[in-house]
Amino acid sequence: MVNTSVQLSTMHLDNPVIPASGTFGFGYEFAELYDINVLGSISMKGTTREPRFGNPTPRIAECTAGLINSVGLQNPGIDKVIEHEIPELSKYYTKPVIANISGFAIDEYVECCEKADKVDKIGMIELNISCPNVHNGGMSFGTSAESAYEVTKAVRAVTSKPLFVKLTPNAPSIAEIAVACEKAGADGVSLINTLLGMRIDLKTRKPVIANVKGGFSGPAVFPVALRMVYEVYEAVNIPIMGMGGVSSAADVIEMMLAGATAVQVGAANLKDPYACKNIIDELPIEMAKLGIENLSDIIGGAH
């Protein structure tokens, strides 16, 4: 019998598999398909202070081995998430969840995190400074070490929950940003968010996505994500949630060897709503094949 559990900061996870924010709604939508209690945790849809309708459509473009999204942080706002979405999710999911907090200004991040801090069901805050689909916020905080430090420090002051910062691959050095977040008091980092990309419709000769550009994710980005997790592991002393194109139990193991303590599954959920469940079912079989008894023993094993 293999042991798939991992300790992620103060959260003890039965397994390291977590659906990534933006690909799994608020979680309860999937409860009619399977018992979502099999999931290590759930990173909920990126939440802002105000409700947001999101970007104009089309927001999605298909690509070889992946897709581009430009959703634009559509969400009902932090108050509604606390009053409605989390209680609804709690009917089906008994474990602590991860609140993915996005914003346009430091005071907005701070206000949302202050509110999230008071919610028992939230076991961890994932500070999203990496959304490529909005102007004057999102990714702009995650592309310079100074602004990443500033927003992390400000949020650190208002929450005692584990604080992970979700990083963008669209920065000159993701390791430098991770170090800045660690210095500002982050308990961990999540990486990678999507890579900026675009498609052009050959018939209209115009960009497919209304917002022109969007975030590329899916199996095609896996080697890039893996390389970044590997580099960040060497640069910081805080745990990493690895993500980017993960679609099998073997990918989970590879991410952990690169340095991830937990692994998020994103685009794969959009292709197959059972993706996380299938990966969790496969994990002990894959571990047994590779002679791994305790999954947590392999974290950073490739270094």
**What is the binding site for ligand SIN (CB under 6 A)?**
22, 46, 69, 71-73, 128, 130-131, 133, 193-194, 215
Count Cβ atoms within 10 A of the Cβ of residue 229 and give its class: 0-12 exposed, 13-18 middle, 19 or more buried: buried
Which secondary structure element, helix H or strand E, spans residue 202, and what is its range?
Answer: none
How does strand 188-191 pair with strand 206-207?
Answer: unpaired
For ligand SIN, give the closer residue by CB, 71 or 184. 71
Query: Is the alpha carbon torsion for 279, 285, 286, 291 positive or negative?
Result: positive
Shortest spacing between CB 193 and ligand SIN, in angstroms? 5
For ligand SIN, give the closer residue by CB, 193 or 261. 193
Contact of 46 with 194, CB cutoff 8 Å: no
* Among 189, 217, 172, CA closest to 71: 217
Catalytic status, residue 113: no
CA pair distance 248, 7, nearest whole angstrom: 21
For ligand SIN, give the closer residue by CB, 131 or 267. 131
Shortest spacing between CB 290 and ligand SIN, in angstroms? 32
Contact of 171 with 192, CB cutoff 8 Å: no
Q: Which of 112, 131, 181, 276 is catalytic?
A: 131
For ligand SIN, give the closer residue by CB, 72 or 239. 72
Query: Which residues are part of the catalytic machinery?
Result: 131
